[in-house]
Structure 1
Amino acid sequence: MIRDIKNICNTIIFEEVFRKYGKDVKRFIFFKTKDTDLTEDIVQDAFVKLWEQCKEAKYDTVKNYLFTIANNLFLNVAKHHQVIDKHQKGFVHENSNETPEFLYIENEFYQSLQNAIAGLTEKQREVFMLSRMEKKKYSEIAAQLNLSVKAVEKRMHNALIALREKINII
């Protein structure tokens, strides 16, 4: 009986591990995915995998083991999404009526835009990415960065001026 006290394969111990670490794993994965449904799926899969591998898990290190499982599952999902995105981008270009010249110009513009964004100051790039990529409002950015809305507006204004100059857009 003493042996079963720390055995993860014991359902009571497994439930204790779930109650103890379930919310932490969920927060950890949600921070990475920003998707509630995907987070739920990954956390559920992590605990299923822990149950399947309960003989290898030790009670003293189960937290690290569980977080490693969850992180690896997240990485697998992220890689899968990258493959899907890459395939879809290739599919769009293969079946489009766009000329090779247009595709070349589009690619050049994309590269110059990436270089221009990389050339912004860290503060400008941070505000620009939060606003344009994450679609946050200036007030949300101000709260997140502990700035005034005016400071966010100023950084965004300077970022846009710098981008226009670097990629020659009027």
Structure 2
Amino acid sequence: MEDDEILFNEIMTRYGQDILQLVFSYVRNKQLAEDLTQDIFVKCYKALHTYKQNAKLKTWLFKIASNHCKDYLRSWYFRKVIATEKMAEMTVSSGQNVEQAVLEHEEEQTIANAVLKLPMKYREVIYLFYFEDMSLKEIESVLDVNQNTVKSRLKRAKSLLKEELEDLDGGK
């Protein structure tokens, strides 16, 4: 039991920020990402005894986090309550978003915003491949999809990102 606690503390220290960033890439809300990350680490702690050494620890953690986020996004609460809140927020602050977008000229922010606009199945492969430096095989394991599917999603995501970034450049 004490060994589990030591391992768990090491996991939180080593992967906490990575998991938080992955979760944010799904939910696009800092506070919600922090709450879900806490839930994920509780889930990881409870499942620590099921971890098998044949998979990388990071891959195991990302799979738990990815599945937890997908479950949350499919939940009634997210589909009904959060969607309604977002619509209300957009009507109140739509002018602020335009003003903020004009003020944010940094290339990294522009790319991050473009990635966050992608549909989830493309956003997750871009995030895992480029931001987490995961191999196609690791992504296949995290997402439970065939490696060829990962490749095609990655190709499509790059194409969508290119279109989005070209539209942004053309709009200046």
TM-score between the two structures when normalised by the length of structure 2: 0.47
Larger relative helix fraction: 2
Comparing both chains, which one has the higher relative contact order based on Cα–Cα distances under 8 Å and sequence gaps of 6 or more?
2
